[in-house]
């Protein structure tokens, strides 16, 4: 009997672990592939308009599916929740994803993905500057190594290696993403994660649409010239990048250790570099490989150090 009970307990524990790894693998592959999807989508669709269409469609579908599920009585949706979704959605999706969309007009997908992988570096800095959290020595080492890798990847001005404007956009994106991720813990978002994700995407779609109109994209677009490839890429971003990928990420934030979830930051660039080389013919040179290895090492050091500090804090509290 005791053995049967242990087997049942083990099976129950294995099921959540299997779901976590399934969701994590989904984020690894799908988010790594969205860089290529964005490049194809903005070939004939204006970038800000593409972002608006993507997030309004994905957010609308997800909201209709999620709003009627869960504990609606204990999780009411009011003005405070919508304002929180505006702030976080603006930082994560407009600043973060929008920076990627614009950067891919000036830099290869693999380079953009590597620079976006610096998000954990920015999160560590924001934690220190805004919240005064002391940085472990290993985090400081990771920061120095990471920014050294970024400097090596970009190269010196005028060297012709990387477009500096595209690199600046690609670095602004993870800064915005890190800000949204950090401040998520300090605003009144809906408790139901999929509802929160849907509201953030709806705000992002609206903000992208306003920006598209203000920049004159609406007057310049010619729908008859939009290619089938761009439309398929847009559909892929809506379904797999946003509905599936972003929902899986939001669920992981509530269900898995942050140190494990954070590993997407150094897996996505590898996927993006490989897909860019295979489908777009982007060169994988020694500079890209070395700089990518340096950045990924730095991110890994920071994730490990933050996880170690969190574990020590939990032990101290329990003692």
> pLDDT tens, 242-291?
999 988 887 887 777 766 777 787 788 888 888 888 888 887 888 788 88
- 3 within domain boundaries: no
Q: How confident is the model at residue 117 (pLDDT cuts 50, 70, 90)?
A: confident
- 145 within domain boundaries: yes
Over the stretch 118-145, which tens digit does the pLDDT of each residue have?
Answer: 887 788 888 788 877 777 888 888 888 8
Given a contact cutoff of 8 angstroms between Cβ atoms, the answer to whether 148 and 53 are in contact is no
Q: How confident is the model at residue 216 (pLDDT cuts 50, 70, 90)?
A: very high
Report the pLDDT averaged over residues 207-233: 91
Q: How confident is the model at residue 62 (pLDDT cuts 50, 70, 90)?
A: very high
- 7 within domain boundaries: no
Mean pLDDT, the chain, rounded, equals: 83
Among 87-96, 100-109, 237-246, 299-308, which is the least confidently predicted range?
299-308
- Give the pLDDT confidence score for residue 157 in this predicted structure: 44
User: Would you tell me the crossing angle of helices 2-41 and 228-236 to the nearest 10 degrees?
Assistant: 150
Dihedral in degrees, nearest 10, Cα atoms 208, 209, 210, 211: 50
Domain that holds residue 309: 29-318
Q: Choose between 281 and 231: higher pLDDT.
A: 231
- 273 within domain boundaries: yes
Alpha-carbon distance 294 to 39, whole Å?
25
Q: Could you tell me the CA-to-CA distances from 121 to 115, 136, 228, 270 in Å, in that order?
A: 11, 13, 38, 18
- Give the pLDDT confidence score for residue 287 in this predicted structure: 79
Residues 6 or more apart from 89 whose CB is under 8 A from it? 180, 199, 200, 201, 202, 203, 204, 207
Given CA atoms 23, 29, 34, 35 in this order, what sign does their dihedral have?
positive
Alpha-carbon distance 5 to 204, whole Å?
48
Structural domains of the chain, count: 1
- 245 within domain boundaries: yes
Residue 179 sits at φ, ψ, to 5 deg, of -60, -45
- The percent of residues in the chain predicted with pLDDT above 70, rounded, is 87
- 311 within domain boundaries: yes
Residues 6 or more apart from 260 whose CB is under 8 A from it? 20, 24, 252
Determine how many CB atoms are found less than 10 A away from the CB of residue 167: 21
Among 39-48, 71-80, 91-100, 300-309, which is the least confidently predicted range?
300-309
Report the pLDDT averaged over residues 147-159: 67
Alpha-carbon distance 242 to 127, whole Å?
27
Report the pLDDT averaged over residues 24-33: 90
Does 107 score more than 70 pLDDT?
A: yes
- Give the pLDDT confidence score for residue 227 in this predicted structure: 95
Alpha-carbon distance 146 to 265, whole Å?
13
- Give the pLDDT confidence score for residue 94 in this predicted structure: 94
Nearest one of 18, 222, 318, 265 to 121, comparing CA atoms: 265
User: Would you tell me the crossing angle of helices 264-275 and 286-318 to the nearest 10 degrees?
Assistant: 160
- 82 within domain boundaries: yes
- Give the pLDDT confidence score for residue 316 in this predicted structure: 54
Q: Choose between 155 and 246: higher pLDDT.
A: 246
Q: How confident is the model at residue 317 (pLDDT cuts 50, 70, 90)?
A: low
Determine how many CB atoms are found less than 10 A away from the CB of residue 140: 15
Determine if residue 134 is left, alpha or beta; phi over 0 gives left, psi from -120 to 50 gives alpha, anything else beta. beta
Q: How confident is the model at residue 300 (pLDDT cuts 50, 70, 90)?
A: confident
Among 18-22, 205-209, 235-239, which is the least confidently predicted range?
18-22
- 15 within domain boundaries: no
């Amino acid at each position: 009997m005791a053995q049967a009970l242990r087997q049942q307990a083990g099976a129950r524990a294995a099921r959540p672990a299997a779901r976590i790894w399934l969701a994590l693998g989904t984020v690894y592959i799908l988010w790594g592939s969205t860089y290529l999807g964005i490049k194809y989508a903005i070939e004939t669709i204006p970038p800000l308009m593409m972002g608006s269409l993507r997030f309004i469609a994905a957010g609308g579908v997800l909201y209709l599916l999620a709003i009627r599920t869960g504990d609606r009585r204990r999780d009411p949706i009011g003005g405070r929740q919508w304002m929180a979704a505006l702030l976080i959605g603006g930082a994560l999706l407009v600043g973060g994803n929008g920076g990627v969309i614009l950067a891919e007009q000036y830099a290869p997908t693999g380079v953009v993905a590597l620079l976006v992988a610096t998000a954990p570096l920015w999160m560590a800095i924001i934690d220190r500057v805004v919240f005064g959290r002391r940085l472990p020595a290993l985090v400081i080492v990771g920061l120095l190594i990471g920014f050294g890798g970024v400097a090596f990847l970009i190269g010196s001005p005028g060297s012709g290696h990387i477009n500096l404007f595209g690199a600046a956009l690609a670095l602004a994106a993870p800064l915005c993403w890190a800000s949204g991720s950090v401040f998520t813990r300090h605003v009144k978002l809906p408790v139901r994660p999929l509802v929160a994700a849907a509201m953030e995407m709806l705000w992002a779609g609206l903000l992208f649409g306003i920006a598209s109109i203000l920049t004159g994209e609406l007057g310049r677009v010619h729908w008859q010239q939009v290619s089938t490839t761009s439309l398929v890429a847009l559909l892929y971003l809506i379904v797999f990048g946003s509905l599936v990928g972003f929902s899986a990420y939001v669920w992981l934030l509530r269900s898995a250790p942050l140190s494990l979830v954070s590993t997407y930051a150094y897996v996505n660039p590898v996927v993006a570099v490989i897909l860019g080389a295979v489908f777009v013919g982007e060169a994988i040179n020694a500079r890209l490989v070395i700089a990518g290895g340096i950045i990924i090492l730095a991110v890994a050091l920071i994730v490990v150090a933050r996880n170690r500090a969190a574990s020590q804090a939990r032990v101290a509290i329990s003692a």
